[in-house]
Amino acid sequence: MENKIKVGIIGATGYAGAELFRLLYSHRNVEIAAVSSTSFEGKAINEVYPALTNEKTYILCDMDGVIEKSDVIFAALPHGLSEELAAKCDGKGKVLIDLGADFRLVDEAEYTKWYGLEYKYPALHEKTLYCLPEINREKIKDIDIIANPGCYPTSIALGLMPAIKNGLVSTDSVIIDSKSGVTGAGRGLSQTTHYPDNNEAFSAYKAGLHRHTPEIEQTLSMFAGKKVNVTFVPHLLPVNRGILSTIYVKTEKTFDEIYAAYEEAYKNEKFVRLQPKGSFANIKNVRCSNYCDISLHFDEHTKTLIITSAIDNMVKGAAGQAIQNMNIRFGFDEGEGISMLAPSF
Protein backbone atom coordinates (compact mmCIF):
# COMPACT_ATOMS: atom_id res chain seq x y z
CA MET A 1 0.00 0.00 0.00
CA GLU A 2 1.73 3.14 -1.13
CA ASN A 3 -0.38 5.81 0.46
CA LYS A 4 0.24 4.83 4.05
CA ILE A 5 0.30 7.73 6.44
CA LYS A 6 3.30 8.21 8.65
CA VAL A 7 2.73 7.87 12.36
CA GLY A 8 5.03 8.60 15.26
CA ILE A 9 4.92 7.75 18.93
CA ILE A 10 6.25 10.09 21.58
CA GLY A 11 6.84 8.28 24.85
CA ALA A 12 7.11 4.95 23.08
CA THR A 13 8.68 3.07 25.98
CA GLY A 14 5.92 3.73 28.48
CA TYR A 15 3.20 1.10 28.55
CA ALA A 16 0.72 3.10 26.45
CA GLY A 17 3.47 3.90 23.97
CA ALA A 18 4.53 0.28 23.66
CA GLU A 19 0.92 -0.75 23.17
CA LEU A 20 0.55 1.84 20.42
CA PHE A 21 3.60 0.38 18.73
CA ARG A 22 2.24 -3.15 18.98
CA LEU A 23 -1.09 -2.21 17.44
CA LEU A 24 0.17 0.24 14.83
CA TYR A 25 2.69 -2.36 13.64
CA SER A 26 -0.23 -4.41 12.23
CA HIS A 27 -2.28 -1.45 10.94
CA ARG A 28 -2.57 -1.56 7.14
CA ASN A 29 -2.95 2.18 6.56
CA VAL A 30 0.02 3.43 8.49
CA GLU A 31 3.74 3.17 8.66
CA ILE A 32 5.57 3.73 11.92
CA ALA A 33 7.91 6.54 10.93
CA ALA A 34 9.51 7.37 14.26
CA VAL A 35 9.42 6.59 17.94
CA SER A 36 10.88 8.54 20.82
CA SER A 37 11.79 8.01 24.42
CA THR A 38 13.51 10.29 26.87
CA SER A 39 14.80 7.42 28.99
CA PHE A 40 16.09 5.19 26.20
CA GLU A 41 17.06 7.56 23.39
CA GLY A 42 19.46 5.89 21.01
CA LYS A 43 18.43 2.36 21.85
CA ALA A 44 16.22 0.18 19.71
CA ILE A 45 12.67 -0.20 21.02
CA ASN A 46 13.08 -3.97 21.14
CA GLU A 47 16.02 -3.64 23.48
CA VAL A 48 13.48 -2.28 25.94
CA TYR A 49 10.62 -4.57 24.88
CA PRO A 50 11.99 -7.77 23.30
CA ALA A 51 8.41 -8.72 22.38
CA LEU A 52 8.46 -5.90 19.81
CA THR A 53 11.32 -7.46 17.85
CA ASN A 54 10.45 -7.79 14.17
CA GLU A 55 12.04 -7.51 10.73
CA LYS A 56 12.88 -3.84 11.13
CA THR A 57 14.85 -1.93 13.75
CA TYR A 58 13.27 1.14 15.31
CA ILE A 59 15.76 3.40 17.04
CA LEU A 60 14.31 5.67 19.71
CA CYS A 61 14.92 9.32 18.86
CA ASP A 62 13.86 12.56 20.51
CA MET A 63 10.48 14.30 20.39
CA ASP A 64 11.40 16.68 17.61
CA GLY A 65 12.49 13.82 15.42
CA VAL A 66 9.07 12.27 15.74
CA ILE A 67 7.24 15.48 14.95
CA GLU A 68 9.33 16.06 11.88
CA LYS A 69 8.85 12.60 10.39
CA SER A 70 5.19 11.98 11.17
CA ASP A 71 1.81 13.06 9.86
CA VAL A 72 0.12 11.83 13.01
CA ILE A 73 1.76 12.07 16.38
CA PHE A 74 0.61 9.93 19.27
CA ALA A 75 1.72 11.33 22.59
CA ALA A 76 1.82 9.10 25.66
CA LEU A 77 3.34 11.39 28.23
CA PRO A 78 2.90 12.36 31.86
CA HIS A 79 0.54 15.32 32.29
CA GLY A 80 1.94 18.78 31.79
CA LEU A 81 4.00 18.02 28.70
CA SER A 82 1.46 17.84 25.91
CA GLU A 83 0.62 21.52 25.57
CA GLU A 84 4.17 22.31 24.54
CA LEU A 85 4.04 19.45 22.11
CA ALA A 86 0.74 20.63 20.65
CA ALA A 87 2.23 24.06 20.18
CA LYS A 88 5.06 22.54 18.19
CA CYS A 89 2.65 20.63 15.98
CA ASP A 90 0.25 23.51 15.54
CA GLY A 91 0.10 25.01 12.08
CA LYS A 92 2.19 22.29 10.47
CA GLY A 93 -0.64 20.14 9.20
CA LYS A 94 0.10 17.51 11.81
CA VAL A 95 -2.53 15.68 13.81
CA LEU A 96 -1.79 15.20 17.49
CA ILE A 97 -3.50 12.43 19.41
CA ASP A 98 -2.83 13.01 23.06
CA LEU A 99 -3.28 10.10 25.44
CA GLY A 100 -2.55 12.31 28.43
CA ALA A 101 -4.80 14.50 30.54
CA ASP A 102 -3.78 17.95 29.39
CA PHE A 103 -6.54 18.52 26.84
CA ARG A 104 -9.35 16.53 28.40
CA LEU A 105 -10.88 19.03 30.78
CA VAL A 106 -12.86 21.90 29.33
CA ASP A 107 -12.69 23.95 32.50
CA GLU A 108 -9.20 25.24 33.21
CA ALA A 109 -10.07 25.72 36.87
CA GLU A 110 -10.74 22.01 37.23
CA TYR A 111 -7.44 21.23 35.52
CA THR A 112 -5.62 23.53 37.89
CA LYS A 113 -7.43 22.11 40.92
CA TRP A 114 -6.63 18.48 40.14
CA TYR A 115 -3.30 18.76 38.33
CA GLY A 116 -1.85 21.89 39.87
CA LEU A 117 -1.02 23.50 36.53
CA GLU A 118 -2.35 26.35 34.42
CA TYR A 119 -2.80 26.48 30.66
CA LYS A 120 0.18 27.90 28.82
CA TYR A 121 -1.51 27.98 25.43
CA PRO A 122 -5.20 28.66 26.04
CA ALA A 123 -5.82 29.11 22.32
CA LEU A 124 -4.90 25.50 21.66
CA HIS A 125 -7.66 24.38 23.97
CA GLU A 126 -10.17 25.94 21.60
CA LYS A 127 -9.02 23.58 18.89
CA THR A 128 -9.28 20.38 20.83
CA LEU A 129 -12.08 17.93 21.53
CA TYR A 130 -12.61 15.16 24.06
CA CYS A 131 -12.93 12.35 21.53
CA LEU A 132 -14.96 9.35 22.58
CA PRO A 133 -16.22 7.90 19.28
CA GLU A 134 -19.46 6.53 20.67
CA ILE A 135 -20.37 10.03 21.85
CA ASN A 136 -19.13 12.39 19.21
CA ARG A 137 -17.86 10.41 16.23
CA GLU A 138 -18.81 12.97 13.60
CA LYS A 139 -17.00 15.87 15.19
CA ILE A 140 -13.74 13.98 15.42
CA LYS A 141 -13.24 14.20 11.66
CA ASP A 142 -12.31 17.86 11.92
CA ILE A 143 -10.07 17.83 14.97
CA ASP A 144 -6.28 18.18 14.90
CA ILE A 145 -5.66 17.98 18.63
CA ILE A 146 -7.47 14.89 19.73
CA ALA A 147 -7.88 14.50 23.48
CA ASN A 148 -8.05 10.76 24.02
CA PRO A 149 -10.19 9.85 27.05
CA GLY A 150 -8.81 8.29 30.21
CA CYS A 151 -9.23 4.60 30.96
CA TYR A 152 -11.63 4.76 33.92
CA PRO A 153 -13.69 7.55 32.29
CA THR A 154 -14.12 5.50 29.11
CA SER A 155 -15.53 2.51 30.97
CA ILE A 156 -17.82 4.75 32.99
CA ALA A 157 -19.06 7.03 30.21
CA LEU A 158 -20.02 4.07 28.04
CA GLY A 159 -21.60 2.37 31.02
CA LEU A 160 -23.83 5.29 31.91
CA MET A 161 -24.50 7.11 28.62
CA PRO A 162 -27.84 5.52 27.64
CA ALA A 163 -29.21 5.67 31.17
CA ILE A 164 -28.36 9.32 31.78
CA LYS A 165 -28.94 10.69 28.29
CA ASN A 166 -32.42 9.21 28.32
CA GLY A 167 -33.14 10.41 31.83
CA LEU A 168 -33.74 6.89 33.09
CA VAL A 169 -31.83 7.12 36.35
CA SER A 170 -31.35 9.57 39.15
CA THR A 171 -28.01 11.37 39.06
CA ASP A 172 -28.24 12.38 42.71
CA SER A 173 -26.26 9.42 43.96
CA VAL A 174 -23.92 7.87 41.47
CA ILE A 175 -21.59 5.35 43.11
CA ILE A 176 -18.73 4.03 40.96
CA ASP A 177 -16.58 1.20 42.23
CA SER A 178 -13.84 0.59 39.66
CA LYS A 179 -11.13 -2.03 39.56
CA SER A 180 -8.07 -1.76 37.33
CA GLY A 181 -5.24 -4.05 36.31
CA VAL A 182 -1.71 -3.03 37.24
CA THR A 183 -0.63 -1.77 33.81
CA GLY A 184 -2.82 1.23 34.67
CA ALA A 185 -0.07 2.29 37.05
CA GLY A 186 2.46 2.33 34.23
CA ARG A 187 5.96 1.04 33.74
CA GLY A 188 7.48 3.03 36.57
CA LEU A 189 8.54 1.07 39.63
CA SER A 190 6.87 1.41 43.01
CA GLN A 191 6.49 -0.74 46.10
CA THR A 192 2.78 -1.14 45.40
CA THR A 193 3.46 -2.62 41.99
CA HIS A 194 6.38 -4.80 43.12
CA TYR A 195 5.30 -8.33 42.23
CA PRO A 196 5.23 -9.92 45.69
CA ASP A 197 3.46 -6.89 47.16
CA ASN A 198 0.70 -6.86 44.56
CA ASN A 199 0.23 -10.55 43.85
CA GLU A 200 -2.62 -12.09 45.87
CA ALA A 201 -3.36 -8.55 47.07
CA PHE A 202 -6.30 -6.23 46.58
CA SER A 203 -7.23 -2.83 47.93
CA ALA A 204 -8.82 0.48 47.10
CA TYR A 205 -6.67 3.56 46.52
CA LYS A 206 -7.24 7.34 46.21
CA ALA A 207 -10.86 6.93 47.31
CA GLY A 208 -12.69 10.08 46.27
CA LEU A 209 -9.40 11.66 45.24
CA HIS A 210 -8.51 10.17 41.85
CA ARG A 211 -7.72 12.65 39.08
CA HIS A 212 -10.15 10.98 36.72
CA THR A 213 -13.04 12.25 38.86
CA PRO A 214 -13.43 15.65 37.12
CA GLU A 215 -13.19 13.98 33.71
CA ILE A 216 -15.93 11.53 34.66
CA GLU A 217 -18.14 14.28 36.04
CA GLN A 218 -17.57 16.47 32.97
CA THR A 219 -18.84 13.73 30.66
CA LEU A 220 -21.77 12.66 32.82
CA SER A 221 -22.80 16.29 33.29
CA MET A 222 -22.82 16.70 29.53
CA PHE A 223 -25.10 13.66 29.25
CA ALA A 224 -27.41 14.94 31.98
CA GLY A 225 -27.45 18.57 30.96
CA LYS A 226 -26.68 19.49 34.53
CA LYS A 227 -23.86 19.07 37.04
CA VAL A 228 -23.43 15.48 38.12
CA ASN A 229 -21.28 14.54 41.10
CA VAL A 230 -20.02 11.02 41.56
CA THR A 231 -18.40 8.99 44.30
CA PHE A 232 -15.52 7.30 42.53
CA VAL A 233 -13.34 4.68 44.22
CA PRO A 234 -10.68 2.87 42.19
CA HIS A 235 -9.11 -0.41 43.27
CA LEU A 236 -5.98 -2.21 42.08
CA LEU A 237 -6.57 -5.73 40.72
CA PRO A 238 -3.80 -8.36 40.65
CA VAL A 239 -4.02 -8.78 36.87
CA ASN A 240 -2.09 -7.06 34.10
CA ARG A 241 -4.95 -5.59 32.08
CA GLY A 242 -8.55 -4.70 32.36
CA ILE A 243 -10.92 -2.31 34.08
CA LEU A 244 -14.25 -3.32 35.48
CA SER A 245 -16.43 -0.47 36.71
CA THR A 246 -19.43 -1.41 38.81
CA ILE A 247 -21.86 1.49 38.84
CA TYR A 248 -24.84 1.95 41.15
CA VAL A 249 -27.69 4.35 40.30
CA LYS A 250 -31.25 4.63 41.56
CA THR A 251 -34.11 4.38 39.12
CA GLU A 252 -37.89 4.49 38.99
CA LYS A 253 -38.01 2.81 35.58
CA THR A 254 -38.47 -0.85 34.81
CA PHE A 255 -35.45 -2.97 33.97
CA ASP A 256 -36.88 -3.81 30.55
CA GLU A 257 -37.21 -0.15 29.66
CA ILE A 258 -33.64 0.51 30.64
CA TYR A 259 -32.29 -2.54 28.87
CA ALA A 260 -34.11 -1.51 25.68
CA ALA A 261 -32.52 1.93 25.81
CA TYR A 262 -29.06 0.36 25.95
CA GLU A 263 -29.88 -1.94 23.05
CA GLU A 264 -30.99 1.04 21.01
CA ALA A 265 -27.98 3.16 21.93
CA TYR A 266 -25.40 0.55 21.05
CA LYS A 267 -27.03 -1.44 18.25
CA ASN A 268 -24.66 0.01 15.65
CA GLU A 269 -21.59 0.31 17.80
CA LYS A 270 -19.00 -2.25 16.75
CA PHE A 271 -16.97 -1.94 19.93
CA VAL A 272 -19.72 -1.87 22.56
CA ARG A 273 -21.27 -5.24 23.32
CA LEU A 274 -24.33 -5.20 25.58
CA GLN A 275 -24.36 -8.53 27.35
CA PRO A 276 -27.47 -10.73 27.42
CA LYS A 277 -29.68 -10.31 30.47
CA GLY A 278 -28.31 -12.37 33.33
CA SER A 279 -24.74 -12.34 32.01
CA PHE A 280 -21.85 -10.46 33.51
CA ALA A 281 -19.19 -8.42 31.74
CA ASN A 282 -15.76 -9.86 32.44
CA ILE A 283 -12.39 -8.24 31.80
CA LYS A 284 -11.11 -11.50 30.30
CA ASN A 285 -13.48 -11.16 27.35
CA VAL A 286 -12.07 -7.78 26.33
CA ARG A 287 -8.38 -8.37 27.11
CA CYS A 288 -6.06 -7.14 24.36
CA SER A 289 -9.14 -6.03 22.40
CA ASN A 290 -10.90 -2.73 21.79
CA TYR A 291 -14.30 -3.92 23.01
CA CYS A 292 -16.30 -2.50 25.87
CA ASP A 293 -18.65 -5.11 27.37
CA ILE A 294 -21.58 -3.80 29.38
CA SER A 295 -23.98 -5.76 31.54
CA LEU A 296 -27.07 -4.56 33.36
CA HIS A 297 -28.67 -5.97 36.49
CA PHE A 298 -31.43 -4.66 38.67
CA ASP A 299 -31.86 -4.93 42.41
CA GLU A 300 -35.60 -4.75 42.71
CA HIS A 301 -35.77 -4.37 46.48
CA THR A 302 -33.60 -1.26 46.52
CA LYS A 303 -34.53 0.05 43.04
CA THR A 304 -30.90 0.11 42.08
CA LEU A 305 -29.54 -0.34 38.58
CA ILE A 306 -26.21 -2.14 38.64
CA ILE A 307 -24.06 -1.52 35.57
CA THR A 308 -20.81 -3.34 35.00
CA SER A 309 -18.60 -2.09 32.22
CA ALA A 310 -15.41 -3.87 31.15
CA ILE A 311 -12.59 -2.64 28.92
CA ASP A 312 -8.93 -3.33 28.42
CA ASN A 313 -7.35 -0.27 29.98
CA MET A 314 -4.46 -0.33 27.50
CA VAL A 315 -6.62 -0.75 24.39
CA LYS A 316 -10.12 0.80 24.55
CA GLY A 317 -8.81 2.70 27.58
CA ALA A 318 -5.73 4.07 25.79
CA ALA A 319 -3.92 2.93 22.63
CA GLY A 320 -6.82 1.20 20.87
CA GLN A 321 -9.16 4.12 21.30
CA ALA A 322 -6.45 6.47 20.10
CA ILE A 323 -6.17 4.42 16.92
CA GLN A 324 -9.96 4.31 16.62
CA ASN A 325 -9.89 8.11 16.78
CA MET A 326 -7.17 8.23 14.13
CA ASN A 327 -9.18 5.89 11.91
CA ILE A 328 -12.18 8.20 12.18
CA ARG A 329 -10.11 11.31 11.67
CA PHE A 330 -8.55 9.95 8.48
CA GLY A 331 -11.54 8.12 7.10
CA PHE A 332 -10.04 4.66 7.51
CA ASP A 333 -12.22 1.72 8.44
CA GLU A 334 -12.98 2.48 12.08
CA GLY A 335 -11.92 -1.01 13.15
CA GLU A 336 -8.68 -1.18 11.17
CA GLY A 337 -5.85 -2.47 13.33
CA ILE A 338 -8.07 -2.91 16.38
CA SER A 339 -10.66 -5.50 15.37
CA MET A 340 -8.96 -8.51 16.89
CA LEU A 341 -11.02 -10.58 19.29
CA ALA A 342 -9.84 -11.14 22.83
CA PRO A 343 -8.18 -14.42 23.71
CA SER A 344 -10.65 -16.00 26.11
CA PHE A 345 -7.85 -17.60 28.10
Residues 229-268 within binding reach of its own copies (CB under 8 A): 229-231, 233, 235, 237-242, 244, 246, 248, 250
Residue 273 to residues 43, 269, 286, 296, Cα–Cα distance (Å): 40, 8, 10, 12
Does the footprint of its own copies cover residue 339 (CB under 8 A)?
yes
Minimum distance between the CB of residue 47 and its own copies, rounded to whole angstroms? 9
Does the footprint of its own copies cover residue 224 (CB under 8 A)?
no
Q: Is 151 a catalytic residue?
A: yes
Residue 98 has φ and ψ, to the nearest 5°, of: -100, 115
Q: Is 299 exposed, middle or buried (0-12, 13-18, 19+ CB in 10 A)?
A: exposed
**From 61, 89, 131, 151, active-site residue:** 151
Identified binder of its own copies from the candidate list 88, 127, 211, 270, rule CB under 8 A? 270
**Total residues in contact with its own copies, by rule CB under 8 A:** 88
Residue 267 to residues 14, 292, 335, Cα–Cα distance (Å): 35, 13, 16
The nearer residue to its own copies, 5 or 233, going by C-beta atoms, is 233
Identified binder of its own copies from the candidate list 94, 104, 125, 179, rule CB under 8 A? 179
Minimum distance between the CB of residue 165 and its own copies, rounded to whole angstroms? 21
- DSSP letters, 75-115, are E---TTSHHHHHHHHTTTT-EEEE-SSTTT-S-HHHHHHHH
Residue 100 has φ and ψ, to the nearest 5°, of: -90, -170
Minimum distance between the CB of residue 93 and its own copies, rounded to whole angstroms? 30
Identified binder of its own copies from the candidate list 25, 40, 121, 330, rule CB under 8 A? 25
Map the footprint of its own copies across residues 190-209, applying CB under 8 A. 190-191, 193-205, 207-208
Does the footprint of its own copies cover residue 340 (CB under 8 A)?
yes
Contact 292, 272 (CB under 8 A): yes
Contact 339, 172 (CB under 8 A): no
Does the footprint of its own copies cover residue 88 (CB under 8 A)?
no
Minimum distance between the CB of residue 310 and its own copies, rounded to whole angstroms? 7
The CB density around residue 186, as the number of other CB atoms within 10 Å, is: 14
Characterize 252-280 residue by residue with b for buried, 16 or more Cβ atoms within 10 angstroms of its Cβ, and e for exposed.
Answer: ebeeeebbebbeebbeebbbbbbbeeeee
Identified binder of its own copies from the candidate list 52, 85, 147, 151, rule CB under 8 A? 52
Choices 14-22, 120-128, 150-158, 257-265 (CB under 8 A): range interacting with its own copies: 14-22
Map the footprint of its own copies across residues 104-163, applying CB under 8 A. none
- Distance CA(240)–CA(30), nearest Å, equals 28
Does the footprint of its own copies cover residue 293 (CB under 8 A)?
yes
Minimum distance between the CB of residue 142 and its own copies, rounded to whole angstroms? 28
The nearer residue to its own copies, 52 or 151, going by C-beta atoms, is 52
Minimum distance between the CB of residue 113 and its own copies, rounded to whole angstroms? 12
The nearer residue to its own copies, 74 or 103, going by C-beta atoms, is 74
Helix (H) or strand (E) holding 207: none
- Distance CA(232)–CA(229), nearest Å, equals 9
- Distance CA(75)–CA(172), nearest Å, equals 36
Choices 3-11, 137-145, 256-264, 291-299 (CB under 8 A): range interacting with its own copies: 291-299
Residue type, 45: I
The nearer residue to its own copies, 20 or 143, going by C-beta atoms, is 20
Residue 316 has φ and ψ, to the nearest 5°, of: -60, -25
Minimum distance between the CB of residue 52 and its own copies, rounded to whole angstroms? 6
Residues marked active site are found at 151
